[in-house]
Amino acid sequence: MLKLIGIIVAAMPVIVFLRAIFMGSRKRSQALSNFKKQVDYAVWAILVMIGCGVVLSLGKLIYDMHLFALRP
């Protein structure tokens, strides 16, 4: 499920860029600027997802270590 969300988030800037280029309502420089902004958002979203995965993994590791330490 996370892979699918990652693929959708990564494809979103490309779709926005192509829409801006082919619709012709904006200048190309503005479309490129919007594309760069969308790529920045996608990179931050991916980094946040990676961070959540790291926090979850560390939490599980600490929880499991705590359970094993309590056993005699």
- Whether pLDDT at 72 is above 80: no
**pLDDT for the residue 40:** 86
Taking only the tens place, the pLDDT of each residue in 28-43 is 677 778 878 888 888 8
Closest of 41, 42, 35, 37 to residue 10, by C-alpha: 42
Helix H or strand E segment including 41? helix 28-70
Average pLDDT estimate for 7-36: 73
b vs e for 3-37, b when ≥16 Cβ sit within 10 Å of the residue's Cβ?
Answer: eeeeeebeeebeebbeebeeeeeeeeeebeebbee
Tell me what the mean pLDDT of segment 14-24 comes to. Answer: 71
Return d(Cα 40, Cα 57) in angstroms, integer.
26
pLDDT level of residue 55 (50, 70, 90 thresholds): very high
